[in-house]
Amino acid sequence: MSFVFDNTKPIAIGSDHAGLAYKAALINWLSEKGYQVKDFGTYTADSVDYPDYAHAVSTAVENKEVAYGILLCGSANGVSMTANKHANIRAGLCWQNDVALLVRQHNDANIICIPARFISLFVAQQMIETFMTTAFEGGRHATRVNKIACA
């Protein structure tokens, strides 16, 4: 095992309107656990464009201002596609705990994308905890991860 997140840095979080309620609950949950959370919005239930928030979180992760990112939207597809446009981002769309484990172990994901309309808050919390505490295995997976970026 190699890379583990630097949990001395804050966690970036962002969502569109569909993920707003979960985002607020997750910020409270993470804060209660002692983590600093940097909230990139949205802050109201008004309809918004998810790329605005996915780009902000991704930029913070790329610039190493935060340990990693959490993105939420209705399906998590939009935020995942947007985040993965950034060169140094590996955003994994997760819908169950086993997937959160594998995107860290095998893909060295640095952003977890959560489909707020399709999972419970409990499952979201479980996946984030797994994501935060699982190290990248490296080895054969590092070879594959190194082939992801376009040159």
Residues acting as catalytic residues? 73, 106
What is the edge-to-edge ordering of all strands in the sheet holding 69-73? 37-39, 11-15, 69-73, 111-115, 91-93
CB 135 within 8 A of CB 108: no
Closest CA relative to residue 118, chosen from 82, 69, 77, 84: 77
Q: Which two tokens stand for residue 72?
A: 């939420």
CB 6 within 8 A of CB 14: no
Burial category of 58 from C-beta neighbours within 10 Å (exposed 0-12, middle 13-18, buried 19 and up): buried
- Cis ω before 82 (30° cut-off from 0): no
